[in-house]
């Protein structure tokens, strides 16, 4: 009974946090860590999540409160010119044969026409180079988006697996403290999942180009558990993969590192906890 009450209280507290952040989340005003927290809690608190739709509708409506302003007259012409140029340049991309200009013998042309032809050929060459470069950029962007989607998908899978495993009720907690004994963060894990949750309550805010890095420590050898950030109040959550049950490690540590993380801790630990 006590355990059930305690779990219920914990769920209520989490859902209250979600309820407090939901209005700001609906208009994009949550900080990055808060956005991640809201997104991780939406599935946990369906009765709160349902309120999001009304906030989203409100957000959509607020956009209409801006006064209608007639754009400068020239903008219409500029837009239509850009559209016309797109239609003209499009065939260049799919032209199956080389442009005949390049095959023409220059010495049979009048000097003016020859100069024009050379200029046109050069221009076409430049346009083609620009278009090919743009195609490569688009391809890069698409690849980056696919990578991002895969990362998010993996993250979501990890979250779902972790919360499902947590529901078995066999979770353990590791407190991470500063060198003066101040509680800064906790890690919740369960042997039933290969993911764990780090909740930061009080880690110091970082410079914009820095991140925290989590370390699994065994025999004085740190192995990275990933990088994460916290908001200005030191709050944040981070779901990470665990290579082995955490009780097999001597300790967990957190250090202040560059945004991309480090091979090994480059600063003294901000927080440590015995696993």
Partner 1 sequence: MPDNTAFDETDLINRIKLRDQSALSELYQRFGGLVYGLAMRVLQNTGFAEEVTQDIFLKIWDQPDSWDSTRGKLLNWLMTVTRYTAIDRLRKEQRRPSWSAVDIEDVLNMSSKHGLLDEQDTMLLRTLIQQLPPNQTEAIELAFFGGMSHSEIAAQLNLPLGTVKTRLRLGLEKLKAMWLEAIGQPNE
CA distance 88 to 100: 17
Helix (H, G, I), strand (E, B) or coil at 22: helix
Compare residues 158 and 229 and give the one whose CB is closer to partner 1.
229
**Residue 264 has which token pair?**
């090994």
Q: Does residue 100 belong to the site contacting partner 1 (CB under 8 A)?
A: no
Which of 20, 203, 196, 187 is closest to 12 using CA atoms? 20
Choose one: 2-10, 18-26, 110-118, 172-180; the region binding partner 1 (CB under 8 A).
Answer: 18-26
Compare residues 76 and 115 and give the one whose CB is closer to partner 1.
76
| Among 8, 11, 43, 83, interactor with partner 1 by CB under 8 A | 83
Q: Does residue 20 belong to the site contacting partner 1 (CB under 8 A)?
A: yes
Which of 208, 102, 195, 202 is closest to 155 using CA atoms? 195
Q: Does residue 73 belong to the site contacting partner 1 (CB under 8 A)?
A: no
The string of DSSP codes covering 91-145 is HHHH--S--GGGGS-GGGS-HHHHHHHHHHHHHHHHHHHHHHHHHHHHHHHHHHH
CA distance 192 to 151: 22
CA distance 200 to 20: 18
Q: Does residue 69 belong to the site contacting partner 1 (CB under 8 A)?
A: yes
CA distance 37 to 46: 15
Residues 6+ apart with CB under 8 A from 22: 38, 48, 51, 52, 55
Q: Does residue 58 belong to the site contacting partner 1 (CB under 8 A)?
A: yes
Choose one: 94-102, 137-145, 186-194, 226-234; the region binding partner 1 (CB under 8 A).
Answer: 226-234
Q: Does residue 65 belong to the site contacting partner 1 (CB under 8 A)?
A: yes
Please state the closest distance from residue 102 (CB atom) to partner 1, in A: 28
Q: Does residue 87 belong to the site contacting partner 1 (CB under 8 A)?
A: yes
Q: Does residue 29 belong to the site contacting partner 1 (CB under 8 A)?
A: yes
Q: What are phi and psi of 174, to 5 degrees?
A: -120, 125
Choose one: 67-75, 154-162, 169-177, 191-199; the region binding partner 1 (CB under 8 A).
Answer: 67-75
Q: Does residue 120 belong to the site contacting partner 1 (CB under 8 A)?
A: no
Choose one: 48-56, 97-105, 135-143, 262-270; the region binding partner 1 (CB under 8 A).
Answer: 48-56
Stated as kind and residue range, the H or E segment containing 66 is none
Compare residues 17 and 161 and give the one whose CB is closer to partner 1.
17
Compare residues 1 and 61 and give the one whose CB is closer to partner 1.
61
Binding site for partner 1 (CB under 8 A): 20, 23-32, 34-35, 52-72, 75-76, 78-80, 82-84, 86-87, 208, 231-233
């Amino acid at each position: 009974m006590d355990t059930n009450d305690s779990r219920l209280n914990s769920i209520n507290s989490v859902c209250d946090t979600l309820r407090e952040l939901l209005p700001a989340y609906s208009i994009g005003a949550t900080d990055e860590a808060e956005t991640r927290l809201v997104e991780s809690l939406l599935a946990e608190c369906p009765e709160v999540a349902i309120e999001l739709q009304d906030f989203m509708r409100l957000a959509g409506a607020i956009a209409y409160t801006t006064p209608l302003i007639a754009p400068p007259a020239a903008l219409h012409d500029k837009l239509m010119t850009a559209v016309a140029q797109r239609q003209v340049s499009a065939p260049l991309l799919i032209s199956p044969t080389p442009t005949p200009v390049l095959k023409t013998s220059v010495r049979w042309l009048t000097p003016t026409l020859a100069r024009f032809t050379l200029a046109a050929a050069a221009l076409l060459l430049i346009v083609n180079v620009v278009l090919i470069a743009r195609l490569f950029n688009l391809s890069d962007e698409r690849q980056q988006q696919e990578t991002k989607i895969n990362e998010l998908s993996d993250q979501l899978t990890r979250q779902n697996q972790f919360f499902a495993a947590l529901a078995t009720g066999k979770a353990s907690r590791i407190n991470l403290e500063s060198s003066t004994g101040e509680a800064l963060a906790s890690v919740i894990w369960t042997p039933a999942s290969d993911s764990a949750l780090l909740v930061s309550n009080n880690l110091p805010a970082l410079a914009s180009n820095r991140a925290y890095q989590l370390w699994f420590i065994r025999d004085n050898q740190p192995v990275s558990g990933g990088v994460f950030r916290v908001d200005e109040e030191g709050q944040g959550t981070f779901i990470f993969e665990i290579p082995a049950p955490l009780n097999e490690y001597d300790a967990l540590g957190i250090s202040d590192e560059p945004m991309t993380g480090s091979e090994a801790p480059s600063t003294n630990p901000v927080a440590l906890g015995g696993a």
